[in-house]
Amino acid sequence: MSETMMISLTVNGQRYQRQVEPRLLLSDFLRHELDLTGTHVGCEHGVCGACTILVDGVAVRSCLMFAVQADGCELLTVEGLAPGPEQLHPLQAAFRQAHALQCGFCTPGFLMTLAPWLAQHPNPTDEEIRLALSGNLCRCTGYQHIVEAVKMAAEIC
């Protein structure tokens, strides 16, 4: 094991300090160090989008960052998306209602990609939605219901 570094960061509003190896991917840090397993790991080379989280409000692939690079950053993962334990985020509610997920493996990445995007594009067209989702793969739904869910969420928001 190579030498470790102390990092401190905020995830879903909670402060964490951990000693980590520089080579630890941010996705693995979230899953194995913080037990936040909602962030899924699909391809680990930036193609599938399943590991998408927000770093300082911006959607990025957590498998293409090292945890040490997130030192001092504010992160949001799918666990922090809903406003409370009894409430869903409008995107989550719309995904459930529109059947925009089947196995659910890709869903956290879709939600975290869409949350900041929808805030900036309150009235998206089908084509804009498909472009925004071009970096997320879903092998179950065929995407049609996902596009419908985004439009539904845009109406709720």
Partner 1 sequence: MKPPSFKYHAPRSVEEAAGLLAEHGYDAKLLAGGQSLIPTMNFRLAQPAVLIDLNRIPELAYIHPAGDGGVRIGAMSRHVQVEKSDLIAQAAPLIHETMPLIAHPQIRNRGTFGGSIAHADPASELPAALLTLGGRVQARGAKGARWIEADEFFLGLFTTALQPDELLAEVRFPALPARAGFAAREVARRHGDYALVGVMALVGLDAGGACNLARLTYFSVGDGPTPAPQAAAALIGQRPTSEALAAAAELAASADIPEPVADIHATAAFRRHLIKALGKQALQQAFIRAGGAA
Minimum distance from residue 26 beta carbon to partner 1 (Å): 10
As a whole number of angstroms, the distance between CA 31 and CA 49 comes to 16
Closest CA to 79 of 39, 33, 25: 39
CB 59 within 8 A of CB 112: yes
Minimum distance from residue 142 beta carbon to partner 1 (Å): 14
Minimum distance from residue 80 beta carbon to partner 1 (Å): 18
Note the residues at the interface with partner 1 (CB under 8 A): 1-3, 5, 21-23, 25, 28, 44-46, 49, 52, 58-61, 63-66, 68-69, 113, 117, 130-132, 134-136
**Residue 147 corresponds to which amino acid?**
V
Residue 21 or residue 74: which is nearer to partner 1 going by CB? Answer: 21
As a whole number of angstroms, the distance between CA 64 and CA 59 comes to 12
Minimum distance from residue 46 beta carbon to partner 1 (Å): 5
Residue 6 or residue 99: which is nearer to partner 1 going by CB? Answer: 6
Residue 93 or residue 130: which is nearer to partner 1 going by CB? Answer: 130
Q: Please tell me the chain's helix, strand, coil percentages from 3-state DSSP, rounded to the nearest 5.
A: 40, 20, 45
